[in-house]
């Protein structure tokens, strides 16, 4: 009979088992602590969409007991994406949820679906990090950039135009493209209700509907439905003397708060265009335009600058006068004749207009003397404009000069009127004239502030 050797089964060591159990629990706790430190909410949900686990406690202002066994919709708020019921792994997606106090919060989500033994979804596990401040900061920067881009596009569109009606049309075109509108109309409401410019599709039908409504109340702003379901947005304000009417096709997106905010930012620019239009009409009616260059003549410039100085005194803002005189202009007349001299003066007028904003004034005071008024500008802006003219003039005027040996350039005197100053235009002209002659004595083709 064969011998059977009995093997001894080792007896479990209670102390080792307890140590292993403790290490496992400690490891789990460490992972839980790390996850909770890295996330603002950790969760699991079941197949019915109810929370089965929430950490930390509280999470986003919710006590875990408030959410346990409840539908995950308690947290999703208005977010179009429900991260708590995803059927596929996601990472880095953003979702807006509702805090315990009702405030909105944006979460950066990482989540995976839970699968049963047959591979069917039976819930979700995930973590979320609160990035509300980051998201709002990014959204604020994006809004600011869009606002600046819109203002720049309107300024760029109007800068190249001289006639105010064409400036208004260019501004409307820039607005239409920037805001994705089907059309834009600009109306002057300061003296009645006059459409100045309209661009886009179907403007006649839109204005037939909008103008009577604005005519009844020129401070009205709102939205109406137009022909074929067009979405019409009207923003009017007596303070700016302007009304803007924009429309989108029925199938286009609705107007939102950002669109309205952008229009509010643009209205002051449109007001400037309308002021320029009124000024042009006054100049035409009073024959205050220099016939050769199309600039303001001395009388018109003097009257308008005095009026603006009064406004600057009221608003506490600065202003700048630039007095410009051509160098070597006499030689153009002597060598090439007065027609060449006239062409040179027109070229100078074009150069000066290109160097200033639509809000500024440019005048020919007589002969080859010009003046520029920069509304609300300070010394830094004035010297920047003068330096630009100093650099650009020899190149821009080379084709109308007397020759390479006597190039046309510009000597500029600058007089800054600070807020609170009692100086009038005659005082500024005197200072700017003296500064200009200092440039002449120093060799011409430069600028000097006095």
Tally the C-alpha atoms within 13 A of residue 78's C-alpha that lie toward its C-beta.
4
Among 214, 391, 255, 410, smallest CA distance to 325 is for 410
Q: Alpha helix locations (H) across 71-115?
A: 73-76
What's the Cα-to-Cα distance from 249 to each of 181, 209, 231, 254, rounded to whole Å? 8, 15, 6, 9
Q: Alpha helix locations (H) across 322-424?
A: 329-336, 338-354, 379-396
Average pLDDT over residues 415-421: 90
**164-179 vs 257-285: helix crossing angle, rounded to 10:** 170
Tally the C-alpha atoms within 13 A of residue 117's C-alpha that lie toward its C-beta.
0
Average pLDDT over residues 75-102: 77
**Cα–Cα dist 276/272, whole Å:** 6
Q: What are phi and psi of 427, to 5 degrees?
A: -70, -40
Which pLDDT band holds residue 384 (cuts at 50, 70, 90)?
Answer: very high
For position 96, what pLDDT does the model report? 83
Instruction: Look over the chain and give the mean of its residue pLDDT values, rounded to a whole number.
Output: 82
Average pLDDT over residues 280-292: 74
Q: What are phi and psi of 180, to 5 degrees?
A: 65, 40
Average pLDDT over residues 359-383: 92
**Cα–Cα dist 378/295, whole Å:** 23
- According to DSSP, the residues that pair with 42 across neighbouring strands are 55, 127
Which phi-psi region, left, alpha or beta, contains residue 66 (left: φ > 0; alpha: ψ -120 to 50)? alpha
Judged against a pLDDT cut of 60, whether residue 264 lies above it is answered with yes
Average pLDDT over residues 277-293: 76
Judged against a pLDDT cut of 70, whether residue 118 lies above it is answered with yes
Q: What percent of the chain has pLDDT over 90?
A: 19
**Cα–Cα dist 450/447, whole Å:** 10
Q: Which residues contact 209 (CB under 8 A, 6 or more apart)?
A: 224, 226, 227, 232
**Cα–Cα dist 96/54, whole Å:** 18
For position 401, what pLDDT does the model report? 82
Among 362, 380, 379, smallest CA distance to 371 is for 362
Average pLDDT over residues 158-174: 81
For position 426, what pLDDT does the model report? 92
Q: How many residues does the structure list for the chain?
A: 450
For position 99, what pLDDT does the model report? 85
Which pLDDT band holds residue 21 (cuts at 50, 70, 90)?
Answer: low
For position 320, what pLDDT does the model report? 94
For position 34, what pLDDT does the model report? 54
Q: Which residues contact 76 (CB under 8 A, 6 or more apart)?
A: 82, 83, 84, 95, 97, 98
On the 0-12 / 13-18 / 19+ scale of CB atoms within 10 A, 160 is exposed
Which pLDDT band holds residue 374 (cuts at 50, 70, 90)?
Answer: very high
Judged against a pLDDT cut of 80, whether residue 292 lies above it is answered with yes
- Give all domains of the chain, ordered by start, each with its CATH number: 25-130 (3.30.450.20), 141-280 (3.30.450.270), 286-449 (3.30.70.270)
Query: In three state form, how does the secondary structure of 237-304 look?
Result: ECCCCEEEEEEECCCCCCCCHHHHHHHHHHHHHHHHHHHHHHHHHHHHHCCCECCCCCCECHHHHHHH
For position 276, what pLDDT does the model report? 79
Q: What are phi and psi of 97, to 5 degrees?
A: -125, 180
- According to DSSP, the residues that pair with 448 across neighbouring strands are 413
**Cα–Cα dist 384/56, whole Å:** 58
Q: What digits encode the pLDDT tens for the residues 191-247?
A: 667 788 888 888 888 888 877 777 656 566 788 888 888 888 888 766 667 888 888
Q: What digits encode the pLDDT tens for the residues 315-328?
A: 888 999 999 999 99
For position 346, what pLDDT does the model report? 92
Comparing 37-41, 127-131, 266-270, which segment has the lowest mean pLDDT? 37-41
**Cβ-contact 242, 228 below 8 angstroms:** no
Rg, Å, the chain Cα set: 36
């Amino acid at each position: 009979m064969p011998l059977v050797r009995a093997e001894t089964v080792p007896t479990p060591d209670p102390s080792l088992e307890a140590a292993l159990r403790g290490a496992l629990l400690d490891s789990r706790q460490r992972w839980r602590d790390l996850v909770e430190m890295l996330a603002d909410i950790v969760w699991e949900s079941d197949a019915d969409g109810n929370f089965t686990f929430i950490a930390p406690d509280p999470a986003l202002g919710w006590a875990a007991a408030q959410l346990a066994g409840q539908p995950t919709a308690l947290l999703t708020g208005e977010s179009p994406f429900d991260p708590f019921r995803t059927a596929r792994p996601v990472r880095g997606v953003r979702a807006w949820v509702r805090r315990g106090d009702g405030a909105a919060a944006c979460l950066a989500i990482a989540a995976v679906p839970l699968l049963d033994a047959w591979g069917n979804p039976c819930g979700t596990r995930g973590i979320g990090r609160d990035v509300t401040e980051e998201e709002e900061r990014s959204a604020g920067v994006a809004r600011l950039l869009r606002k600046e881009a819109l203002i720049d596009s309107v300024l760029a569109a109007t800068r190249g135009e001289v006639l105010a009606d064409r400036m208004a049309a260019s501004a409307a075109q820039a607005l239409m493209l920037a805001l994705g509108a089907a059309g834009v109309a600009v109306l002057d409401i300061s003296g009645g209700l006059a459409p100045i410019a309209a661009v886009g599709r179907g403007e006649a039908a839109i204005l037939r509907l909008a103008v009577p409504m604005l005519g009844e109340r020129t401070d009205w702003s709102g939205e109406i439905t137009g022909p074929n379901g067009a979405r019409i947005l009207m923003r009017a304000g007596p303070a700016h003397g302007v009304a803007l009417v924009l429309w989108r096709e029925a199938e286009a997106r609705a107007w939102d708060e950002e669109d309205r905010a952008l229009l509010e930012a643009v209205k002051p620019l449109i007001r400037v265009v309308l002021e320029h239009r009124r000024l042009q009409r006054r100049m035409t009616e009073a024959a205050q335009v220099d016939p050769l260059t199309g600039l303001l003549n001395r009388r018109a410039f003097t009257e308008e600058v005095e009026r603006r100085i009064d406004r600057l005194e009221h608003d506490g803002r600065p202003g700048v006068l630039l007095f410009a005189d051509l160098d070597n202009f006499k030689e153009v007349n002597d060598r090439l004749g007065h027609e060449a001299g006239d062409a040179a003066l027109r070229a100078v007028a074009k150069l000066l207009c290109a160097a200033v904003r639509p809000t500024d004034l440019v005048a020919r005071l007589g002969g080859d003397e010009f003046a520029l008024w920069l509304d609300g500008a300070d010394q830094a802006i004035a010297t920047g404009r003068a330096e630009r003219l100093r650099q650009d003039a020899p190149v821009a005027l080379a084709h109308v000069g007397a020759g390479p040996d006597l190039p046309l350039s510009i000597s500029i005197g600058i007089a800054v009127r600070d807020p609170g100053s009692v100086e009038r235009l005659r005082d500024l002209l005197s200072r700017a004239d003296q500064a200009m002659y200092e440039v002449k004595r120093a060799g011409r083709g430069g600028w000097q502030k006095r």
